[in-house]
Amino acid sequence: MAKKIRVLIVDDSASVRQALTQVLEADGDIEVMGVASDPFVAARRIQEEVPDVVTLDVEMPKMDGITFLRKLMSQHPIPVVMCSSLTEEGSQTLMQALEAGAVDIILKPKIGAADHLSESGAMIRETVKGAAAARVKGVSRRPPLAGATQAKLTADAVLPPPTGRAMAKTTEMVVCVGASTGGTEALRELLVALPANAPGIVIVQHMPEKFTSAFSSRLNTLCQVEVKEAEHGDPVLRGHVLIAPGGRHMMLERQGARYIVAVKDGPLVSRHRPSVDVLFRSAARSAGANAMGVIMTGMGDDGARGMDEMHKAGAFTLAQDEATSVVFGMPKEAIARGGVDRVVPLEQIAREILAASRRHLG
């Protein structure tokens, strides 16, 4: 029988500690081994028993979460998921947390609204499971649990499948990228390596709403390409990167001789919104052989079906390799479905994108 994922919750709010405990323990594979009201209590708890995952509040008395995270990563690396309320200021701080070694972000659960708790609870549990399987500072963690999985919707819930007829190469190539756990830092490495005239790129990174705006702004200060959070109707242009807003699906649509993105509400697909499967399916439908698909580090299988659809529609497809993935779930599932043309390390993806663009232009 597989061991449960043991979680330590660190938050100064008793109601948040209680709500997170209820959300996490609704999954039989997860056990809350303890709670702590501040980092000093947490440190003593970790000395007694090392958890598989720590959920860590950003703002706490005695020591803030970022300072504790840095100390923890330097002394005893453990997968840490940062937990924050939905604020613009907090989202800026969380970018620092991701750079300091946190593997992911969750929003504090809202108490009372049963439908919100149900939907956000599924995403919180998925995030914690992804963190448990994550490599931290090159140390391989426990494999993902193979227990019973919750029922989940496919991209059929948002848009119909491709017609099966591959579209001819008639426009510039559009690069569609999907990532989850570990993806924030992997995307930073990828995008920083691209020149200002790189092909247009659209990205789904699993991340809560508001945080994608701060993430995009941060990347824009580091990259030669222009990076922004996508808005409905934005054109996909050479030298520009559009990142799907957290909490909404993003789809690629053709408009005459160019491509735009549609940003829409909808149900969780593959337990996520935005969903990589939704983006990839839209690319298969609207771009066919004019698209390139890239699937990167992440827990679960979001994007595997969509990448197979892109591949069958004539797109060139790429997966990040296991050695450079924080979690090899999403690339592994895409490879298993047979929809991946090449598997390469993270540092080679930018070169592959540029080479594919040159081939496409002929």
Q: Quote the DSSP letter at residue 11.
A: -
Residue 286 annotated among the catalytic residues of the structure: no
What is the rounded end-to-end Cα distance, in angstroms, of the chain? Answer: 55
User: What DSSP letter does each residue of 331-346 carry, written as one string?
Assistant: HHHHHHTT--SEEE-H
Q: Is there a cis peptide before residue 79, judged by omega within 30 degrees of 0? A: no
Cβ neighbors of 114 (< 8 A, separation 6 or more) are: none
Question: In whole angstroms, what is the distance from residue 65 CA to residue 124 CA?
Answer: 19
Question: In whole angstroms, what is the distance from residue 84 CA to residue 329 CA?
Answer: 25
User: What DSSP letter does each residue of 55-93 carry, written as one string?
Assistant: EEESS-SSS-HHHHHHHHHHHS---EEEEE-S-HHHHHH
Catalytic residue among 57, 84, 206, 325: 206
Whether the Cβ atoms of residue 263 and residue 245 lie closer than 8 Å to each other: yes
Percent composition of the chain: helix, strand, coil (DSSP 3-state, to 5): 40, 20, 40
Residue 206 annotated among the catalytic residues of the structure: yes
Residue 360 annotated among the catalytic residues of the structure: no
Catalytic residue among 104, 277, 302, 308: 302
Which among 71, 69, 96, 90 is positioned nearest to 80, based on CA atoms? 69
Catalytic residue among 180, 213, 270, 357: 180
Question: In whole angstroms, what is the distance from residue 103 CA to residue 329 CA?
Answer: 15
Annotated active-site positions, please? Answer: 180, 206, 302
